[in-house]
Amino acid sequence: MTGDRPQSGGRTDDEQVRTPTHQASRRLVLAATAALAPILAGAGPARAVTAAPGRTTPDPCGGRNALVHPATTSEADWEDVVDVLQHRGRLAGNQVYRMGFLRQDLKVTSYGYSITPALGVGSFVSFLRYEDGKTMLMGDMAVTEREMQRVIDILDAHGIAQTAIHKHLLTHDPAVWWMHIHGMHDDATYLAGALRSALGATGTPPGNGVPDKKKLDLDTAGIDRALGAQGDTEGDIYKIVFARNETIVDHDRVLPRMTGSTTAISFQPVGKRKAIVNGDFVILAHEVQHVIRALRRGGIDVVSIHSHMLMEDPRLFFLHFWGVGDGVRLARALRTAVERTNVSAAVAIG
């Protein structure tokens, strides 16, 4: 009963115990506020963050800066890049100029199979021109462990960032690493010159243009049906590409649909319509486990899961895979994984 409890001005015993502490704390807060008042008064409004050259300024409200869209270009617009690199690429979608520099100097083997450079052992880059006149360089370079640090130093000296370094194959010889790169400049030839210097620090042979199409020992029609998409022959591999359906933005710049966000599936014939399958899936975080499960149930190995970019939105992950067997059977297993992602078929160009 309340009548049995000691009274003191209507306060409980607990309140009586806490009151001196609360009063002392209140006095400290008031004193600190008074001391800070002159400083706060002179501080003025918060200053805007100044971005480093070549970087966007973060929006303090958490929003995104105005997006910059790619410009339409023609083959003639890239002739200066061709001249610098002494290598001809291919224009895709009137926006992206793609080039591949195959490591014909390397004789890569994996699990007893000779890997053709066209399966991804090389440097594959894209040049994109934007409406504000700037050019973006992005892609990846295949480098040996002996070459890697020298290539990093050359790229860094030219302002080209390394956004990922990882492997696309499991056991293989010689040891090759794939280095993803990103650069932005007002002058496309500057980027081309930086790339040429980096390539010069590797054993990459001079560019030899777009590879010729070859007749392959594969049931390509059956592979197309199994994957529900039409592929294309690129040198001595058969390739099918799927692109994300979302709009992908990197450094506040919209990436064309076939740039930086594709699931690329390559088939290298190894005889009797069998093939090596190698490539990567582009996936969002919630799709990762579904793709892994589908691949493993189809007998396809997971090689690695990682990012290729630093500033993309939405956040993307890339899952590299490996398998050997009947090409059509592998294509069926891969389709199960593809269907776990938000992509649609695209023509394999460049």
pLDDT in tens, 148-182: 999 999 999 999 999 999 999 999 999 999 999 99
Task: Report the 10 Å Cβ neighbour count for 312.
Answer: 17
pLDDT at 93: 86
Query: CA 205 from chain center: how many Å?
Result: 26
- Is-contact 341 287, C-beta < 8 A? yes
pLDDT at 320: 98
Q: In what order do the strands lie in the sheet with 122-129?
A: 90-92, 96-102, 122-129, 135-144, 176-185, 161-166
What phi and psi, each to the nearest 5 degrees, are found at residue 103? -85, 70
pLDDT digits (tens, 9 = 90+) for 111-134: 999 999 999 999 999 999 999 999
Low-confidence ranges of the chain (pLDDT < 70): 1-64, 208-211, 347-350
pLDDT at 253: 96
Which of these, 234, 241, 270, lies nearest to 110 by C-alpha position? 270
Q: What angle do CA 311, 316, 322 make, to 5 degrees?
A: 130
Task: Report the 10 Å Cβ neighbour count for 299.
Answer: 12
pTM of the entire structure?
0.79
